[in-house]
Amino acid sequence: MLIVKTLGIELRFASVAEVEHFLAVIRQKNMPTTQRLSQERSDTCGPNRHWLSRLPSSIKAWSKREKLIVIVENALAEFRQIAT
């Protein structure tokens, strides 16, 4: 498990694939809607149950996400070094 604490939040990832998906979503200047992401994931899971809907709005602004991306990328690189 990878835990990243930054910008007043704690992000928990169970796998490298989760981190990579998280980064793929938040790297987009215009993030997809939770409805679109939940439809891609499952027909039975509504948008309010998607992780993006649970992400604090205070870090959804592009300026905050730019900082968050760097921090999570660095944490992932360190995690990969330790795990190998």
Q: Which residues have C-beta within 8 Å of that of residue 38, sequence separation ≥ 6? A: 45, 46, 47, 49, 50
pLDDT in 10s for each residue of the chain, 84 residues? 899 999 999 999 999 999 999 999 999 998 877 777 766 666 566 656 667 778 888 899 999 999 999 999 999 999 999 887
Burial of 5 (0-12, 13-18, 19+ CB in 10 A): exposed
Domain count, the chain: 1
Tokens coding 33: 């809607």
Q: Residue 38: its pLDDT value, please?
A: 66
Domain span including residue 48: 2-83
| Distance, CA of 5 to CA of 55 (rounded, Å) | 13
